[in-house]
Structure 1
Amino acid sequence: MSTENLLERINTYASRPNPYPLYAELREHGVARQNDGSYLVGTYHEIAALLHDPRISSDVRHRTDPEEALARSGDLPPSFIGVDDPEHDRLRRLTMRPFGPPHSPGRVDALHADIAAIARELVAGLRDRDRIDIVDDVAYPLPVTVICRLLGVPQEDMPEIRGWTNTVIASLDRSPDEDTAEKRRAGMEARMAMGQYLGALAERRRADPTDDMISALVHDEGPQGRLTQAELMTTLPLLTIAGHETTVNLITNGMLTLLRQPEQLARLRREPELMPSAVEELLRYEPPVQMLPQRTPLTDIDVMGVTIPKGAPLYLMLASGNRDPLRFEDPDRFDPDRRDNQHFGFGSGVHNCFGAPLARVETQVALAALLHHLVEPRLVEDPPPYRHSPILRGPRHLLVTRDAGAAAGG
């Protein structure tokens, strides 16, 4: 079958439960030009090199259709994941200051007890139920509660946050059998609405600060100044969405993997100290972010003997690289003991996910709580229904049955 329609086949919803054979097909060619003039790269070492190559731009303004890309943001500037250095570096440094090292090294560690308490509360609410939805009951409410508390979003506004997030994520869907224009318009409107809401919240924190990250962002005066109001209205929605969306998929993909491999599930119950390495392996084996779309070469570049022309849309297929047999031994096997596991679960290079430490902690805590709570869990449906996005891939629901009232260890 022609590789010129690989992206179309990957994006088709029927491929969502198992895109990995298509990634294997891509790796056989390394680089595949598509009918629309875009290029896919699916091999580990080439992806790693491109992620660190300054000739590859993340700036939406360098795309062949910059007007369309910018239109998705409405009147707001691009977020820091949509620009290059030095602008990217400035925005990222300002955003990082109240979140992590070197200026706030203990913020994520300090959240551990709260994350564990939220997880215990969520699973306690499942105690008398014999049928649960991993997504709606645990995988979604845990990280969204954490990120909203971290930022300072009131709990009563979380349903509205979820509605905006779902609309934005839906707008990323590239399914060839659907009209994307309306979804893109709705996504732009949702971004604008979320930006206006969070921008207004930032204004309130400017006048009346509290102990949250939004207050820190609006009051911190670092060597590079502060984020402008427009930059806050772009950055805060990004932090809100990215701060929970990928973690939902990571937790859900993790539980699905363990439910399909009960021997590994039982082993993690016996050896909970393996959970950190198991989560790293899940990030490789079933990554929540499958691809980085629409990178742009600033000049003609050669990849595996193929010239990718300046300006051509470039897709880096992270999930394919994570299963490259030239980099990982027996790559289609889930192995919590895997060593030298330098996966692309959180990307790589200057745009690697700075929320990765928080996502790791949340996933470790959530999976440990679920394994403690669920005794002899059984999937209701396999494969489960998946979300539409081929970029942020994970089940929309993950229904599990088990003996009512049973909990491991009491």
Structure 2
Amino acid sequence: MTTNAPLSEELRARAAELTGSLIPRVNRFRARQADGGTIAAPTVEDRDLLTAIRDEATAWYARGGLDHQADALAADVDDWIAEGLDSAPHFARSRDALHAPEDGAPVFFLAPAQSTNSVPPVGKRLDCFFAVRKEPDALTSLAETYPHPKNNCQSLVLIAGSDGFTHGNCIVFFPENVAARDKVVDQAYAMFFYNKMRKIHETYALPGAEAVLTADSVPRASSGLAPEVCFEARAIWGYLHDSMHYQGRWPFDQHISLKMNWFVGLLEEIKVDAKTVLACADGDVPFAHEQIDMILLERIFRYPQAEDATRNFDSGTGVFLYSWLREHGALTGSPENGALLHLDRDKALDALRAFVSTVEELEEQVRTDDEYRAAAKALVRTYLPEGEPKQRYRFTDDQSVLLRAKLPLAGLPPLRFTEAEW
């Protein structure tokens, strides 16, 4: 998407309407909620506020011809009020009434939902978003070279939303994020707010790398991009990443429970990102250099800075990959006394090839889920040693170099996003 941004005057006007009335009400209500979505000792004012939110949101749905979403929201809110706002919300009807928008079409949603990586407090709090779907211009041709048998992801431009979506680093929305008592059996949509990536990437990932790497070896092809170019590159990365999950002897859709294992899943995530990097390095993929650098910076230098890094799955992938690159000569030098390391790009690609080969060989050798889990754990533990109780691993002295930028970056104000930034 290197042409004009997909925000028409009509979309901007609709966003202004939301930010002028409904969204402030949602933010006031979510501030009253606990992480599980409940309100302790709810008052008449709480019920009146939720009722007003229901009426305004259902009217919004109806004006857009989305009566099925309006009916679902009204039923979910009414049942919650009847049960008491001190009970956990159950918004399965709203969750299931949401359909993935067509490319170029807007989408609005409101429900108690988990906004992953948002600014605390995070939980099943009332949130809403207004976005427009914009798939990469290159997707049609890319799908011919890299077919995806079950593509169910949507690339979105976030236009407006409540605090859970417009503050902090939340770029994903899945049906399982919605507060509900039943479990999602079939994921009907997977939405990604990729226009948030540019600010997240340059605020956290790039400084994280600059604190560790020599200036001449910091990957910079993904920095300073025009908003639409960064969006396109990130969306293509998302497509390739997801398509790689469905390849090989143990495709994700046929082994979901196995791939949700922490050790198996960690290797899987690194493998599909490594294969994405190699596709960019070897094939005719648009914005290849931008994607390679974005993946390296995000995976290795941003994810490990998370507050809960030794429990966090994505952080674990970055720490593992750091040590893998060190072992394979792609990251050289000693970090003692604040010294910087040197990243060799060609050797990094060689190391990623070796990683893919190692994991695919593991996948060929194992015959049962139990064998796969045991082999994955053994490989992961080679690079991520056991940690304290309730922690998945611990940082070694060498790996601690990845935390150099953590404190300064943690002191930054939370990121905020508006449609004007597009």
TM over 0.5: no
TM interval, shorter chain, is under 0.3
TM-score of the aligned structures, taking structure 1 as reference length? 0.24
Q: Which one scores higher on RCO, CA 8 angstroms, separation ≥ 6?
A: 1
